[in-house]
Amino acid sequence: MFMQSRTEFNMEQNPPSLHDDHHDSSRTSPSSSSSSQTNSTSSVQQQIVATKSWPQKLVESAPNSIRPYLYLMRLDKPIGTWLLIYPGLWSLAFADVASLIPSPYNATLLAIGALIMRGAGCTVNDMWDRDFDKQVERTKMRPIASGQISMRNATIFLTAQLLAGLAILVQSNYYTIALGASSLFLMFTYPLMKRITYWPQSYLGLTFNWGIFVGYASFAGFCNWSILVPMYLGSIAWTLVYDTIYAHQDKKDDKDIGVKSTALLFGDRTREILTGFSLIFGVCTSLAGHNAGYDLVEQWPYFLAIFSSVLGSIYKIHTIDYNNPQQCMRTFVQNKWIGFVILLGIIGANWTKRRKEKQRSE
């Protein structure tokens, strides 16, 4: 339930060119040219440092002995954790209808568990894909592929992460423990999918959205399948959208080394197919809301959140350049706001539902 795609979340961009214009250099002395280049380099470095996020700065400030492990679990790139935790928070909000804010205790456990197990999933992913990663420009310096972390040490680190995840999981009820443990099969087998099918993104959807069942069960002690199954299917469609966009970044390298993806499968039809999956996301999540007792008019915040999310997603699908890795990355990262908007929609719908029930009782 806890990983992202093989080329996950490398958000560094190449710095601007440091070369002076050749027309000006012919009129500049060597010393002044050297000084100008030094100042230019310093300016660029300052810009790069200024644009780094606080997780990146945190990881870079860590001791050398542990820094590779923080990179291995992608602690410097939290987007994967956000995409993992939101489906769990959605279902938690469906379960905890009586509260304005979904159970802070359960939400905290979900967040910590997502952070830990996303790291474990990335570790598994990099262990399986170390030979592939060596052949892809953006991933060849990952800790395992580059030799900074041995397979033995990666295995020890993975074991520690799994034990930490278990420590979080056992804070919940037995039903949730069983659900959480059952996701390990998906986590360990996901990296194999890109070797055997052009649909690894669909398997990632199965894996990454398992938190929908865990989040609901952690509060209710059971699963309301009429709500959770359509929500799960819709979320798989959402994952297919954002991870296909992400996979377009490495489609050339993937094709050369034999890695399969929906980006390669869809090709020039990506816009049309992803539009279809966005609509499936909208239909399935609307059905989940209907089964939760949401009225289209009275619980309008939820359906407005779905409509705006689908509309925004389709707009992005049709306006980005799929041959531009930077645009693909930006669009991929922006999907965290879809997760946030849907969560606000559920909270808003619960509020209107409680208010209506209170009015009827008076």
Domains (ranges, CATH) in the chain?
A: 61-361 (1.10.357.140)
Q: What is the pLDDT of residues 176-210, one digit of tens each?
A: 999 999 999 999 999 999 999 999 999 999 999 99
What mean pLDDT is predicted for residues 26-51? 43
> Is the pLDDT assigned to residue 43 strictly greater than 90?
no
Using CA atoms, how far residue 211 sits from 42, 111, 144, 153, 183, in Å, is 45, 11, 28, 28, 9
Q: What is the pLDDT of residues 84-134, one digit of tens each?
A: 999 999 999 999 988 888 999 999 999 999 999 999 999 999 999 898 888
What mean pLDDT is predicted for residues 224-236? 98
What mean pLDDT is predicted for residues 334-360? 91
> What pLDDT is attached to residue 362?
67
Q: What is the pLDDT of residues 303-339, one digit of tens each?
A: 999 999 999 999 999 999 999 999 999 999 999 999 9
Q: Which of 260, 262, 256, 295 is nearest to 277 (CA)?
A: 262
Assess contact for 277 and 241: CB atoms under 8 A. yes
Q: Which segment of 154-158, 332-336, 358-362 scores lowest on mean pLDDT? A: 358-362
> Is the pLDDT assigned to residue 46 strictly greater than 90?
no
Look over the chain and give the mean of its residue pLDDT values, rounded to a whole number: 87
> What pLDDT is attached to residue 22?
37
Contacts of 70 (CB under 8 A, 6+ apart): 59, 62, 76
Write 216-219 long-range contacts (CB < 8 A, 24+): 216/91, 216/92, 216/94, 216/95, 217/172, 217/173, 217/175, 217/176, 217/179, 218/92, 218/106, 218/109, 218/110, 218/172, 218/173, 218/176, 219/92, 219/95, 219/96, 219/102, 219/103, 219/106
Percent above pLDDT 90 for the chain: 72
> What pLDDT is attached to residue 54?
84
